[in-house]
Structures are given as C-alpha cells and as structure tokens.
Amino acid sequence: MTAEAHEIYALLAAPLFAVGLVGVFACRHFLKKIIAAKILGASAFLLLIALAARDHGEGPDPVPHAMVITGIVVAVSAAAFALTLARRIWQETGQSGFGEKP
Amino acid sequence: MTAAALSPLMAAAVAVPTAGALAAFLLPNRWRAAVGLGFSVLTLLATFALAAGVTLHGPQDLFLGGWAPPLGIRLHLDGLAAVFLAMTALVAIPVGIYARTFFAAGEGSGSTDQTHLFWPLWLILWAGMNGVYLSADLFNLYVMIEVTGISAVALAVLSGKVPALTAGLRYLLAALVGSLSYLMGVALMYGTAGALDLALVAEAMDRQWTLRVAMGLLLVGLMVKTALFPLHFWLPAAHSAALPPVSAILSALVVKATFYLILRFWVEVFEGSVTIAASQAMGGLGAAAILWGSYQALRQERLKLIVAHSTVGQLGFLFLLLPLITVDATAAEAPWLAWAWHGGIYQALAHAFAKASLFLAVGIFVIAVGSDDRRASVDLVGRLPMTTFAFGLAGMSLIGLPPSGGFVAKWMLLKATFASGQWWWAPVIVAGSFLTAGYVFGILRQAFAPSERRQPLRQVPKTLEICALALAVLAILIGFRSEEVLTLLDIGVPFAEPAPPEGSEP
Amino acid sequence: MNPVAVGFDGLLALLILFLAVRALTAPGLQQPVILFIAFGLAMALAWARMRAPDVALAEAAIGTGLLGVLLIDSLGLFTRSKSETPPQPRRSRAASILAVGTTLLLAGGLGFAILAMPEAEGLAAAAAEKLGASGVDHPVTAVLLNFRSFDTWLEIGVLLIAMWGLFCAGGREGFAPRATEARPGTVLGGTVQSLLPLVLLVGIYLLWLGKVDSGGAFQAGVVLGAAGILLRLGGLGFPDWLRPWLVRTLLLFGFAFMLLVGLSALFAGAAFLEYPPTLAGPLILAVELAATLSIGFTLYCFFTYLFDLRIHPATASSES
C-alpha cells in the first residue's frame, strides 16, 4: 500500500457524492433513487476509510472502520425499508416514480 | 439528589423509552398502549429529574462505557438540553393518551393491525430524540439522527394508505439525503480535526477551506431534515397524510430535534468560524420560509395541509435567531444576544405545544365531521366547544397574541431585531403573524359561523378533546412562567449572563 | 512507491466511478441493478486495498450481497406484474445539462475540500493504547463492542426499527402464515439443504474470528441470514414452529440483550455499557452471539417479508 493510493480513493469520494446526490433527485424510478442514495452513502464511507489509511505508525485507524461497518448496516436497513415502500406503492397504484399518472 | 445520580439518569433518558419500545413490541397488542404509557411516564420522570439536577448541580458529562473522549462517546447535559428534553416529555404525555384513545376507538386502522406498532415506534423515536439532545459526539449523533429519522418515517406510514406511503417514501429519501450529507461533513471534520467529540472538534475549528465545506454539508443535511425553505418539499405531504397523533409528533418535535443540532453546532462548534454573511443567509431562508409557508397555509383547502404548511412557516422564525446571535459583540455589550437566544428557543417551545394541539384538534374535527375539507368544518363551536376553544388558544400562541408562549417568543425576537440594528427582520415577523392570523381565523370563523349546511357530528371521545386542550393550555401557560424556563435554559450555555442593566446600542 | 499499485488503484477508482454513473444512467432496470451490484463488489475491493478487510466483508455481504438479492427480487416485481409500463417522457436537454453541471460543481467543490485537508492524527494511537484493556485483540472489534459500543447498540436497534418500518409499509405486522409454494424436490432446494451445515459452520467461524482478526458478529450474522434466504429461495417457507412471539423475541434479542448488559452496569455503579475489566472478554463474546443471532434473523426477515409480500399482497384496501 502506498501513500498515494488512499489519496486516490479519498478524491474519488467527491464525484461519487455528487453523482449520488444528483441521482437521488434526477432519477425517476424509485429503484434508481434508492440505488443513488446507496451510492451517496458509499461516498462518505469511502472517504472515512481513506482517512483511516493515512498511517501514522500504528496501522490503519480502527475507529473509521467501525463507523463504516455501523454505517453500512444502517444504510442497508434504510434501503430495505425504502424498497418495501416502493414495492407497495407499485403494487397499489402502478406508479414507479413520484408524480406519475397512475 | 446528588450530582452522581445524574449520570445514570442521562443514560436512562435514552434507555427507558427504548426498554418501553421493546417491552411493547414483545407483548400482545392489547397490552401495548398500557405499557407504552407506563414507560412514557417513567421517561417523563427521568427528564424532569434531569432538569432539576442540572438546575442544582450545573452541566454534566457522562462517558458511555466508561471510555472518555477522544476514544469514547460523551453525553452532555446542560440547560438547553434539559429544556428540549422537558419539552418532548410534556408533548409526549398528552399525545400518548390521545393516541391510546384514538386507536382504541378503532380510528386510523383499516383491515390491518400494524397500527399497534405505534407504541414501539413512538417510544424508540422518543429515545432517539433524547439521544440527539444529549449526545456530544459527531458520529453518535449520526446514528441518533438515523434512529429518529427511520422511526419517524415508519410512523408516518403507519396507516398503510397510499398517500401516506408515497409521502413516506419521499420523506425517507429526503431524510437519507440529509443524514448522508451530514455524514460526509462528519468525515471531513474527522479528517481535519482527528476527533469526534464536539468539544475537541470545536477546538480544531478555524476558517480553513475543508472545514467550511464540512460545515456547509453538515448544516445543509440538518436543514433538509428540519425542512427549512426551500428544502421543505417533503414536509407538507408527509405531515398531513399521517394519523393525527403522529402528525402532532412529527410537526411538534421531530423537526425540532435537527433544529436543536443546528443551534448547538452553530454556537458551540462553529462559533468563531461562521461569518456574518452566512448567518444573514440563514436568516434570509428563515424569512422566506415564514412568508412562503404561511402564504401556502392560507391557500390550502384541507385542514391538515393548512396545519402542515403552517409548520414550514413557523420553523422559519427559529432561523431568525442565527443572524441575531452572530455579531461581533460579547453578551455584556449586546443585551439582544440573550433576547434573541431566549426568543428563538421560546418559539421552539411554544410552537411544539401549539402545533401538537392544532394537529390533535384538527384530528378531532375530521373524526366528527368526517371530512378534511376546511369548508365542512362549520358551526362547531356549540357542538365541540372544548376542541374549538383549544384550537383558538393554540392559534393565539401561533399568531403571537398576548398572553401566550408565542407572544413571548415573537416579542423577544422583535426586541432583538431593533436592538441589534437588524431591523429588516421585523417586518417579516409582523407579516408572518398577520398571515398566521389569516389562516387561523379563517378556520375559526367557519367554526363559529351558524350554518344551514351543518351535518350531524360523529361522537368523539372526551379524552381526545381534553388532550388537545391540555396542550393548548401549555402553549399559553409558558407565556406566564417564562422566568423559570429561561433560568433553566441559561445553565451552561453561551449568552447565559443576563444582560447588564445598561446595554449599549451599537 | 510502486507505480503498478498506483496504476491499479487509479484504474479501480475510475471503474467505480464509471459503474456508479452507468448504474444511474443506463436504461431500464435490469442493467442498473447489475451495474450497482458490480459497483458494490468493486467497492469491496477498494476497502480491501485500503487494509479494511472488516469493511470489505461487511460491504460484500450486506451492502451488496443482501441488498443485491432484494434489488434482484424487486426487479422481477417491477418489470413483470404490470403488463405495460407507462412510456417515460424524454428528459429535456436543459434538465440533463443542469444535472451534469450540478454534479461537476459539487464534485469540484468537495474534491477541493478533500485535497486541502490537513493531516490529522486520528484515533489509531488512542485505540492501540487502550486495546489491552478492551477484552479483545482485534482493534475494530474493540471499537465496535467496547469503546463505542453505544453506537453499535443503536445500530442493531436500527435494524429492528427498519423491520418495524417494513411491517408498516407492507401493511401487516408479522409474516404470512406458511408460504404455500414449497418445492421440495427441486435441485436448488436439495442443494441448499445439504449445504446448510457448511454455511452454519462458516458463520460460527467468522464470529470466533472477530476476537482476533477480521470478522465478527455482522459478518457472521449475514452468513446466517444468507443461509435462511437460500432456504427460502429453495422453497422452504417461513417455518411453522416460528410462532409470532418467537419471531418477535428473535428480532429484538440482540438489542435487548445489550440493553440489559448496559443497564446492569448502571446498577453496579458503573457507566452505561461499561464492562468490568475482568469480564470484558466473555461479555463481549456473549453480546456478539446475541447480536449475530438477531442480525442474521432480521436480515432473513427483511428478505422473507418482501418475498412473501409479493406472493401474498397485503389485503389493506387503499384509498386516495
């Protein structure tokens, strides 16, 4: 692992965050909105892990690792909830996005 | 009570409602309301003991798991936290009693039984909000925000009806965007400050570029969840499509929890790095929210939508606090700092009681009349006198008429705008009050008007009416007891020192 | 500095970005879902490259594995059950330019902030110093289950809250009484049943591994959940012996157990969730066992609830 590698991933967090954020609003289909929210979350996780990889002599920082594991579980829980809502709306009305004519 | 007794009590403010949620979920449906209410009372007692304790012993810290920061998580209790804890508990009890009667009467449930989940969800939501008030750790706050957000959305879709589901999904996505933007801000701050504890992060804050972006992400994330204009798009549908006790909780409390965080970050962490321009921008959004939200409330045809849009407008008043306290002056030179601070918090309190009461009252109108259309609620004063009276009292506080909590709030904010020389907020406050009067009196005029078209009313349990009235009375009463509330509020928070008698004008 | 390694990381970063963009812009639903799963796997690789194997395991198992299964199952629903999908109006050119412009602006601003970030020390030294007193040998487990166990406790709570959310959204608390289309004789069903002991073994191994190395309750829980999901896919319905009270108990067991541990510390005069130093190791193991059980069961329930909801839609009448 080189010093530069984690900087590459830290920087990657910026476009991922932007793509996810714009995607949540710009995508029409519920499923894609949920995927966009997951990408948004992944960007924050990526930055945290990249920060943990900045080595000051003790190996990687375990605190961001723990934060991201917690974050992944929370993100999946929220996504499962959102998916249930989306599926239920589709089954009841045939709408797959906000503001569609049923 | 000794200071040592406060540590377990701080943990109890989160643990007791959580235990209640678990007990309610584990037990058969018929036990849930009783268990839920029992644990609500225990939580109320714990929060009141905390308020008493902080008055006697001053601010307190608790290191969870016995690990001190920077490694561990710290809970922090001060006057501001105590006031919000008490506010939540005081709204919780009447709303809880209302909910018990509401669901027992078979309202709000179709052929499904998931409405029994109200109790577990509401108690865990309460635990999450208490955690938001107490936690002093950036990442722990993220988890608390998610606990609060996900349980709030689940409550919003409790009815299982399609409009609630659609509004709920929009609410959930907005909540996720808000919390993830917050989390990105946390990541940047951790990278820069190397700590998560708020006090340690505050020490590392300066006007460095990374921290400014972090601050922006964190604030925008919290603004989405507080529904500050123009990020309020999700609120009216979600709050109006929920069942009445849930609407009361969402509108009175849940949006305040993230506002509380904005306030705490602003005065404790970002203090010194926020610019006057940024504070004026926040005030500007608040002003826009007041005008837009109140104007939209005036235009709505459905009662619950009027009350929901009114929340967007009333939340705007809270943000006028930020420009008024962000000035190059100390509390000794500027007496308006304390006025603005008190006025802003008072607005949060008065709105919590008044808005909870309005949603409960509107819920009663809808049950009685059988329609959410504002034109259907005619000639009610003789037939539902208690609820009409409650609506009137709560509306009075919302408008800011004396004597009420809302009056104290708006009066102190007005005083602060003139004393600070930021007079341009004053016309907005006055206009907001007039617009509020417009939609409140619009509904009241109909309720008082004798009508030929009056329909026979459905019987409404008296308990529901008493709960709505109790909250309205609280909204008025805090206008009379402001001394006590302000004394509690000043413990351990900046702007604590009461201004010296001769404050100098700028 | 190794130019090959940097080149690999650079390419992987570009691939991740490409997959994310395509997952949101590809037409239809099937491609986006598959691209998203590929995105998750590429992310897991990135975690592993940054010496975060615990995170890589969690991401691959939960973030991509479980969510991927849920998304693929939803794919079937959204593309099949309604015969004609409403024609999607074309997005206007202006809207596309706005979206791309906003993305670039946001990415630029945030990227600049990340580049300008000073090198803070972080908490690695603090964690290493206290590791000896934590009762476990693996730093990430020490943070998760001792130093910051309050976060972890609440996170297990979020799983439970989300399950309640699923119940609300689905319009039914609890599970359909015995799904009817069990297909015992199928190849999948048979394979799954013979694989089950092996899956359980892997789960227990991962749990034990968390004491000393990467692994632990979350990964072990996911493996258990995955075993259940395979069984469900193999045609084995929600078991009869899982009575509603047992379901509720299993769902809240991990969260409640940690609460009890935390409260007993209060009664012993310590702080909430504080372990006595001599008992820290065994207590953490007990908490992990309880957490594994609940996490695995809750993840299984996420899937089963959604799966059953497709076969037996909620009967709640909808009104607008």
Residue pointed to by tokens 């024609």 = C87
Which residue on chain B is closest to A86 by alpha carbon? B169
Within-domain flag for C111: no
Residue C84 included in any domain: no
**Would you kindly state where each structural domain of chain A is located, as residue ranges?**
3-93
CA-based nearest residue in chain C for residue B29: C173
Indicate the number of domains in chain C: 2
Cα nearest neighbour of C318 on chain A: A92
In C, which residues are within 8 Å of A37 by CB distance?
A: none
C chain contacts of residue B238, beta-carbon cutoff 8 Å: none
pLDDT tens track for C238-295 = 777 788 889 999 999 999 999 999 999 998 889 999 999 888 989 998 998 899 889 9
pLDDT in tens, B418-448: 999 999 999 999 999 999 999 999 999 989 8
C158 and C54 within one domain: no
Tell me what percent of the residues of chain C surpass a pLDDT of 70: 83
Q: Tell me, yes or no, whether C105 lies in a domain.
A: no
Residue ranges per structural domain of chain B: 12-489
Give me the total of CB pairs closer than 8 Å, taking one residue from chain B and one from chain C.
Answer: 185
| Contact at CB, A15 and C103, closer than 8 angstroms | yes
Which B residues, 189 through 218, put their C-beta within 8 Å of a C-beta on chain A? Answer: 190-191, 196
Q: Show which subunits contact B, needing at least 3 CB pairs below 8 angstroms.
A: A, C
**Residue C111 contacts B, CB cutoff 8 Å:** no
- Would the CB atoms of C103 and A19 count as touching at under 8 Å? yes
Q: Output the pLDDT for position B464.
A: 95
Quick one: C63 and C146 in the same domain?
no
Using CB atoms, which chains have 3+ pairs under 8 A with C? Answer: A, B
Interchain proximity B112–C120, CB inside 8 Å: no
Query: Looking up tokens 């074309």, which residue turns up?
Result: C90
Pick the residue from chain A with its C-alpha nearest to B174. Answer: A24
Q: Over pLDDT 90: what percentage of chain C?
A: 40
B204 reaches C (C-beta below 8 A): yes
Per the CB < 8 Å rule, is A63 touching B71?
Answer: yes
pLDDT grade for C199, boundaries at 50, 70 and 90: confident
Nearest to B64 among C162, C172, C273 (CB): C273
Which residues, numbered 44 to 63 in chain A, qualify as contacts with chain C under a Cβ-Cβ cut-off of 8 Å? Answer: 45-47, 49-54, 56-63
Interface of A with B in 8-67 (CB under 8 A): 13, 17, 20-21, 24, 30, 33-34, 37, 40-41, 43-44, 47-48, 51, 63-64, 67
Least confident of A6-15, B272-281, B343-352: B272-281
Residue C188's CB is within 10 A of a number of other CB atoms, namely: 13
- Please, what is the average pLDDT of chain B? 91
The minimal CB distance from A78 to the residues B150, B166, B183 is found for: B150
Interface A:C, Cβ pairs < 8 A: 272
Confidence of residue B236 (pLDDT cuts 50, 70, 90): very high
Handedness of CA B72, B192, A25, B280 (dihedral sign): positive
B153/A37 Cβ within 8 A: no
Q: How far apart are CA C23 and CA C36, in angstroms?
A: 5
Mean pLDDT lowest for which of C47-61, C75-89, C258-272?
C75-89
Assign 3-state DSSP to chain B and report helix, strand, coil percentages, each to 5: 75, 5, 25
Shortest distance between the Cα of B140 and any Cα of chain A, in A, equals 9
Rounded to two decimals, the pTM is: 0.94
**What's the gap in Å between the CA of B142 and the closest CA on chain C?**
9
Q: Which helix (H) or strand (E) holds C106?
A: helix C93-115
Cis amide leading into B506 (omega within 30): no
Nearest to B129 by CA among B103, B95, B100, B170: B95
- Please state, in angstroms and rounded to a whole number, the distance separating the CA atoms of residues B189 and B352: 32
What is the interface pTM, i.e. ipTM, of the complex? 0.96
Q: Report the neighbours of A using a cutoff of 3 or more CB pairs below 8 angstroms.
A: B, C
Position B110 pLDDT exceeds 70: no
Average pLDDT over residues B321-326: 92
B99 vs B449: which has the higher pLDDT = B99
Rounded to a whole number of angstroms, the distance from the CA of C197 to the nearest CA of chain B is 30
Q: Are residues C160 and C296 in the same domain?
A: yes
> Which residues from chain C sit within 8 angstroms of residue B124, using beta carbons?
157, 161
Q: Which of A33, A51, A85 sits opposite B165 (nearest CB)?
A: A85
Q: Position B202: which residue type?
A: A
Q: How would you classify residue C52: left for phi > 0, otherwise alpha for psi between -120 and 50, otherwise beta?
A: beta
Give the rounded percent of residues in chain B with a pLDDT score beyond 90: 75
Contact residues, C window 4-63, toward B, CB-based 8 Å cutoff: none
Whether C274 is in a domain gets the answer: yes
CB contact under 8 A, B147 and C262: no
Fold of A3-93: Helix Hairpins (1.10.287)
Please compute the mean of the pLDDT values over residues C206-223 and round it to a whole number. Answer: 70
CB contact under 8 A, A31 and C166: no
Residues C175 and C244 in one domain: yes
User: Would the CB atoms of A74 and B143 count as touching at under 8 Å?
Assistant: yes
The total of other beta-carbon atoms located within 10 Å of residue B363's CB is 29
A24 touches chain C (CB under 8 A): no
Instruction: Reply yes or no on whether the pLDDT at B124 is more than 70.
Output: yes
Six token digits for residue B14:
């989160």
Q: Are B132 and B124 in contact (CB under 8 A)?
A: no
Chain A hits for B181, CB-CB cut-off 8 Å, are 21
Please tell me which residue, C230 or B314, carries the higher pLDDT value. B314
Domain boundary residue, one of C56, C79, C102: C79
Q: Best mutation site among A67, A68, A95 for testing chain B: the one with the most B CBs within 10 Å?
A: A67
Asked if residue C141 and residue C34 are part of one domain, the reply reads: no
Mean pLDDT of C40-45: 93
Query: Residue B249 — pLDDT band, cuts 50, 70, 90?
Result: very high
Where in the sequence is the domain holding C168, given as residue range(s)?
137-314
Q: Is 60 exceeded by the pLDDT of residue B505?
A: no
Residue C118 within a domain: no
In this structure, of B73-77, B189-193, C145-149, C233-237, the range with the lowest mean pLDDT score is: C233-237
With respect to residue C245, please indicate whether it lies within any of the assigned structural domains: yes
Q: Nearest CA to CA, how far is C290 from chain A (Å)?
A: 16
Q: What is the pLDDT of residue A1?
A: 44
Q: What is d(CA C38, CA C15) in angstroms, rounded to the nearest whole number?
A: 10
Segment C208-215 long-range contacts (CB within 8 Å, at least 24 positions apart): C210/C136, C210/C138, C210/C141, C210/C288, C211/C136, C211/C137, C211/C138, C211/C141, C211/C285, C212/C136, C212/C137, C212/C138, C213/C138, C214/C53, C214/C54, C214/C57, C214/C138, C214/C140, C215/C54, C215/C57
